[in-house]
């Protein structure tokens, strides 16, 4: 129990980023976020504005999560409590962004289900919706665990 509390009250650096909670979630966030990005980019962009928001969110969160991972891996945070706060705030923003993008993507997919869309595009859109909600869940879990770490700092 003391080791778990010790882990949560400090920010990891180096390879410990890949082994500590909540930072172990960076890699799944990157993988599932990349899948959303690829799937949305490979479909027919029927209403461009909502799909554009989904693309923005997936690219923004992918790039920011990758930068965040590099900063943590290089030890740029210097175990500062301000970085723990920033980690929580970033993941909270990512949750709100991804949740809005997931709901919009699901709505657009169901609206155009019976339209002239090719069945292949519909299947890709369904996969994008599923991976988008999985990514939202990963960011939500990371946000909660980052809040716990922030409070124990």
CB contact set of 41 (below 8 Å; sequence gap of 6+): 55
Closest CA to 14 of 6, 23, 2, 5: 23
Q: Please give the C-alpha separations between residue 62 and each of 4, 16, 23, 27, in angstroms, as whole numbers.
A: 28, 21, 15, 10
- pLDDT of 97 strictly over 80: yes
Closest CA to 59 of 79, 43, 86, 35: 35
What secondary structure does DSSP assign to 105-124, as a single string? HHHHHHHTTTSS--HHHHHH
pLDDT, tens digit (0-9, with 9 covering 90-100), for 111-131: 877 665 677 888 898 999 999
Mean pLDDT, the chain, whole residue set: 88
Rounded mean pLDDT, 90-104: 97
pLDDT, tens digit (0-9, with 9 covering 90-100), for 38-70: 999 998 777 777 889 999 999 999 999 999 999
Hunting for tokens 């890709």 — which residue is that? 124
Q: Can you list the alpha helix ranges (DSSP code H) found in 9-118?
A: 26-41, 48-74, 81-111
- Report the predicted TM-score, pTM, of the whole model to 2 decimal places: 0.89
């Amino acid at each position: 129990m003391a080791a778990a509390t010790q882990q949560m009250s400090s920010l990891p650096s180096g390879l410990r980023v890949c082994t500590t909670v909540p930072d172990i979630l960076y890699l799944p966030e990157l993988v599932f976020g990349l899948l959303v990005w690829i799937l949305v980019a490979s479909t027919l962009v029927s209403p461009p504005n909502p799909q554009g928001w989904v693309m923005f969110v997936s690219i923004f969160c992918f790039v920011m999560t990758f930068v965040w991972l590099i900063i943590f891996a290089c030890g740029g945070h210097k175990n500062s409590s301000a970085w723990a706060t920033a980690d929580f705030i970033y993941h909270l923003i990512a949750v709100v962004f991804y949740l809005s993008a997931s709901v919009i993507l699901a709505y657009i997919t169901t609206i155009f289900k019976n339209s002239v869309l090719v069945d292949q595009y519909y299947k890709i859109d369904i996969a994008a919706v599923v991976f988008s909600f999985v990514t939202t869940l990963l960011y939500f879990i990371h946000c909660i665990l980052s809040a716990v770490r922030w409070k124990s700092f």
